[in-house]
Structure 1
Amino acid sequence: MNEIALSEEQRDCLQELINVAMGRASDKLARYLDTFVHLQVPHIDLIASESLPSSFAESYADDGVSLVSQGFYGEDGILGEALLIYRSNDAQGIAEILGYEPDDVSEVEQLTDISSILTTTFLNGLAEQIENQLAYSAPRVVSALETALESHLHQLSFNWDLALKVDISYQVTDYSFNCDMILLIPGEAIQNIQKVLDRILNEF
């Protein structure tokens, strides 16, 4: 793949856009749960495509993992795949956070519910700031008990060149959970995002 890198100014601009979008997602989650949600400032990293599957396989080697994958696409060639990855102990606690009784709904429904709040709210908040609109594919839930995480990352529905990894840490009242959000973005879409960032920077 061609080397793709963000300038320092582009990276700072993207970080600020992500901070605002994550703040909106956190606020929506707090309203949905009717409780206080504390969100640490997300940390972003750009990761080469060939290194991501093995990297996450190593990171989660000792943990059961559940993953929710959802494609998104918008105007001006903005598209990608959003992943939310939960460790099993965090995924099991989601039912408690959502107020579900045991056996009320499946783990798939639980993960889909909370991922819908976090992923679509975040992406819509990001799209609004760059004056874009996004559409979404149906979410897919993958359990590490059924499909290896590394295998799923290799089998996504499009060829991507770069991953934007966003580390998220939420604390919800007396219960905390962590998840990794990853945006898998094709090289051409990264270049389109760079153009948007440059446009925003030129307006200031």
Structure 2
Amino acid sequence: MSAIPLLVCDDSNMARKQLIRALPSNWPFRITQASNGVEGLEAIRQGAGQVVLLDLTMPELDGFAVLAALRQEGLKAEVIVVSGDVQEEAVRRAKALGAKAFLKKPADPLQLAEALNGLGVEVPLVRPADAERMALAQLPSVSFRDAFREISNVAMGRAAELLARVLGVFIKLPIPNVNILEVGELHMALADAQRGERLSAICQGYIGGGVAGEALLIFHDAEIDDVAKLLNAHMDESAKLEMLLDLASIIIGACLNGLSEQLNITLSQGHPLVLGQHCPIEDLIRINQRRWKRTLAVEISYGLEDLDIRFDLMLLFTEDSVPRLREKLDFLLN
């Protein structure tokens, strides 16, 4: 039985599992999986990627670099980008580097089928049951941490798209860091964000569907004037604070909405509060240490391309939220 060599290149087991399950049942695939761009590029060199489903935000080598290497080496591969980074500039860059289509995560099966049909690849005739069995034979196992990192990645991308439009710059996206932290570890993570600088921080609580927590957005004071310049604004202290609250509302709101959509829960958001302005991180910790116990922490650092500006976002879920989140993720995966 002939089959189409298909490479699924994504650092998330959950994302690869979702993509494999979304493949059309009438296409016979011989599936190879890669967890970063270096592995993916090597698989393509070895002939395992006539068709490639490619993530953009990956360790070792990101999707943009993979596309550039394919062009430089003259490798033949029909690439469909499937990414949580949905900025207009990300779409433009991916297509300029040779991607044939761009789908946002999580990929809709109908849109994926349409993109595959648009490649012009000759599809061998096989029984649908045989094709489906070939595609589903390699579903990866998914841990809670991996699954939560992936839905955070999608939510992060939604926020970046809004932020890019507001600021008029390309947002560099990290791989979200997901950990269950004791209060002491959380303090260390916050201290790592300081880099010896003074900070301003906005906190916003959220609750709903058995899930609760707080979002913490940290701004480095040295960068606030640079952000104001991007907005072509000359601001006094009051106006700068209002700008930070507006940016926090955009970033935190979009992230929480992205999580809500994927988990099928409604998260009510409290009013954003200024935790500390122009103060060292030790003061933030001292002021708030009684509120943060053992927590599921998602750390995201948004960087602005070609500018020394970044926003550090932490989503802190209560320990009691974790069983509900596991239940929701299990439903997504099965």
Q: Specify if TM > 0.5.
A: yes
Letter in 2 for 1:199: F
Aligned equivalent of 1:40, options 153, 159, 174: 174
Q: Which residue of 1 aligns with 2:220?
A: 87
Q: Is the 8 A contact 1:94 1:110 kept in 2?
A: no
Separation of aligned partners in 2, 1:73 and 1:97: 33
Shift of 1:187: 1.3
Deviates more, 1:188-197 or 1:83-92: 83-92
Q: How does 1:10-159 map to 2 (within 5 A)?
A: 10-57=144-191, 60=194, 62-75=196-209, 77-103=210-236, 105-141=238-274, 142-145=276-279, 148-156=283-291
Greater relative contact order (CA < 8 Å, ≥ 6 in sequence): 1
Please state whether the residue corresponding to 1:69 is helix, strand or coil: strand
Q: Is the 8 A contact 2:159 2:251 kept in 1?
A: yes
Separation of aligned partners in 1, 2:298 and 2:176: 10
Closer, same or farther in 2 for the Cα pair 1:37/1:73, shift >3 Å? Answer: same
Q: Is the 8 A contact 1:94 1:111 kept in 2?
A: no
Q: 1:52-106 deviations in whole A, cap 9, x for unaligned?
A: 225524652721011110000112x111000011222123322123332233853
Closer, same or farther in 2 for the Cα pair 1:74/1:145, shift >3 Å? Answer: same
Q: Is the 8 A contact 2:300 2:313 kept in 1?
A: yes
Q: Is the 8 A contact 1:26 1:118 kept in 2?
A: yes
Q: Is the 8 A contact 1:68 1:83 kept in 2?
A: yes
Report sequence identity in percent: 30
Q: Which residue of 2 aligns with 1:200?
A: 332
Please state whether the residue corresponding to 2:143 is helix, strand or coil: helix
Query: How many residue pairs align between the two structures?
Result: 192
Closer, same or farther in 2 for the Cα pair 1:189/1:117, shift >3 Å? Answer: same
Shift of 1:130: 0.7
Q: Is the 8 A contact 2:178 2:296 kept in 1?
A: no
Shift of 1:41: 2.9
Please state whether the residue corresponding to 2:310 is helix, strand or coil: strand
Closer, same or farther in 2 for the Cα pair 1:59/1:170, shift >3 Å? Answer: closer
Aligned equivalent of 1:190, options 318, 322, 328: 322
Say which one has the larger Rg: 2
